[in-house]
Structure 1
Amino acid sequence: MTKILENMYKALGAGVVLAFIVFLLTYHGLDVTFWSFFVRWLHVLSGILWIGLLWYFNMVQIPTMPKIPAELKPAIGKYIAPEALFWFRWAAIATPVTGLVLSGLNGYGHQALMLQEGARTIGIGMWLGLFMAANVWFIIWPNQKRALGIVPADDAAKAKSARIAMLGSRANFMLSLPMLYCMVAQQNGGAW
């Protein structure tokens, strides 16, 4: 067991195998209800990864960076941040894609995106999520690439890009609260 837990990919693989075993034990057929559940599960998994990393950046990494000695900061910028941003940006695509597929499977996608009555709350959440995903790919990530030196930039451009990326991330952090409210409210009595 230690060999599995010492390696993130092995632990992830073991989690997938365990989930598959639970699936087999509770299997009721591959109908539309199953696919709706399965896509919802993928949506929740990718959302946890995306918003979890967003909150990590905003509640841990950004506030802690000024306290880190200058000689240690390159380790964050060269190793930790690029790896976290890899998972962050791909989860920022997977979450809205699975959410849109889910809304289509459940028959409320168009109604929600048009903010029509009965699906307005989830629609607001969907639009917030789409905006946040676009912010990741078109504002945060291009600026992080310059700030971290992944693409060439002088020191002034790096500093400016770091600030823009931080502000973009902080905007997503702020928007994540109403977005999550909308996602939960639609199914739990808080929708209008």
Structure 2
Amino acid sequence: MYDYAIMWEWGAFAIRWLHVITAIAWIGSSFYFIALDLGLRKAPDLPEGAHGEEWQVHGGGFYHIRKYLVAPAAMPEHLTWFKWESYATWLSGFALLAVVYYAGADLYLVDANVWDVSPFIGILTSIASIIGAWLVYDLLCKSPLKANATALMVLLFALLVGLAWFYTQIFTGRAAFLHLGAITATIMSANVFMVIIPNQKIVVADLKAGRVPDAKYGKIAKLRSTHNNYLTLPVLFLMLSNHYPLAFATQYNWIIASLVFLIGVTIRHYFNSVHARKGKPNWTWALAAILFIIIAWLSTVPAVLGGDERAALPERAQRMVAAAGFEDVSDIVLGRCSMCHSATPAWEGMLWPPKGVMLETEAQIALRAREIYLQAGRSHAMPPANITYMSDEERQQIVAWFEGISNGG
């Protein structure tokens, strides 16, 4: 069973790596095309139907790019579609959600101190909320509000604020932020899969059939593409937020998440304005800095970290406590790890336990058994630089304890 834990960890690493690679490809192409679109210029020699052109230099060569707002007069022989970057990012992201948060639901997803439900109910709630959020968003985009882009954006922000509050009332803080990121990514990818690409395929089909494409399909796709543009920076923060307990594990985490969306939108507005040659709205950086200072302040008012303590330990954790060698392992962890991994770390300059992980009680140690085994037993990742001098014998005790219970000992 301990070999399974190691392979599972490597599997999670592989999926995470794939997710990062595909996300870079998707967001990179998104940033490029938004900048290109905003930088297009009119020219007297543009062919009929062309909206604008752009000259660019890169890699020792020059590129001459033209955009047709609806479609060119004839279908090109070769057409490159940008879609798989989006699909692969979402699929790998959902796989990672399943591997980390669903498989480890009793530790990373469900917190009995917040909402005392079984992991199964927590997982169902997770899936239903992601699907439901997309359906509500899609309905809003198809409603009469689509004619007023600003009003629609404000309403969508209010929806995200509501979701931020909702998730912090049912999941761990870490899972709440991750789910906000998952919903945002789902909206973005579903926009590509269910709206942008289908509309472009309709235009291509019309061209092949000799029909004049309807301009409405391009306008609909443009609206969704604009939403995707403004959501990219917030989703990046939310996907990386599990490294920052000051963001996800404090009392006002839902307000922090909401302000993150505002910061991301504000920064994108700056770059969009620059790319469109509409000046440099430097006030956006000042506003982002102010919002960031507010976030830092909110994370300490009051200074309350959300722990992973359970009203009742899961069965596996109970077995960990009862297993041979637990008392020795508990002493090792308390002596070598808890000076940092506590509600009030003793290490100078450290105000919060790393990643919000506390190892002060039997319950906390038992719930983190697999991580302790992988981080301090099978590897020397913890303590960092072995700063508390954990001996090889102590690491072997951790390995023997975990592998003993994994083998049914």
- What is the TM-score with the length of structure 2 in the denominator? 0.34
- 1:63 aligned to 2:38? yes
* Structure 1 SS opposite 2:222: helix
* Structure 1 SS opposite 2:205: coil
Corresponding letter in the other structure for 1:179? V
Distance 2:40 2:206 in 1: 22
2:94 alignment counterpart: 100
- Aligned CA-pair RMSD: 3.0
* Structure 1 SS opposite 2:39: helix
2:222 alignment counterpart: 166
CA contact under 8 A between 2:206 and 2:213: conserved in structure 1? no
What is the CA distance between 1:155 and its match in structure 2? Answer: 4.2
Distance 1:178 1:74 in 2: 28
2:194 alignment counterpart: 138
1:123 alignment counterpart: 179
Larger Rg: 2
The structure, 1 or 2, with the larger RCO (C-alpha pairs under 8 Å, 6+ apart) is 1
Q: Give the percent of matched residue pairs that are identical in Structure 1 and Structure 2.
A: 28
What is the CA distance between 1:182 and its match in structure 2? Answer: 0.6
* Structure 1 SS opposite 2:101: coil
Q: Cα gap change, 1:39/1:156 in structure 2, threshold over 3 Å: closer, same or farther? A: closer
What is the CA distance between 1:156 and its match in structure 2? Answer: 6.0
The structure whose residues are more often strand, as a share, is 2
Q: Which runs of 5+ in 1 are unaligned?
A: 1-28
* Equivalent runs, 1:60-99 vs 2, <5 Å: 60=36, 62-67=37-42, 70-71=46-47, 73=66, 82-83=79-80, 86=81, 88-99=82-93
What is the CA distance between 1:64 and its match in structure 2? Answer: 3.2
Corresponding letter in the other structure for 1:37? F
Q: Which runs of 5+ in 2 are unaligned?
A: 48-64, 110-122, 130-166, 254-409
Distance 2:183 2:91 in 1: 12
Corresponding letter in the other structure for 2:12? S
1:152 alignment counterpart: 206
Q: 1:181 aligns with which of 212, 237, 244?
A: 237
- What is the TM-score with the length of structure 1 in the denominator? 0.68
How many corresponding residue pairs?
156
Distance 1:33 1:183 in 2: 19
Corresponding letter in the other structure for 2:28? G
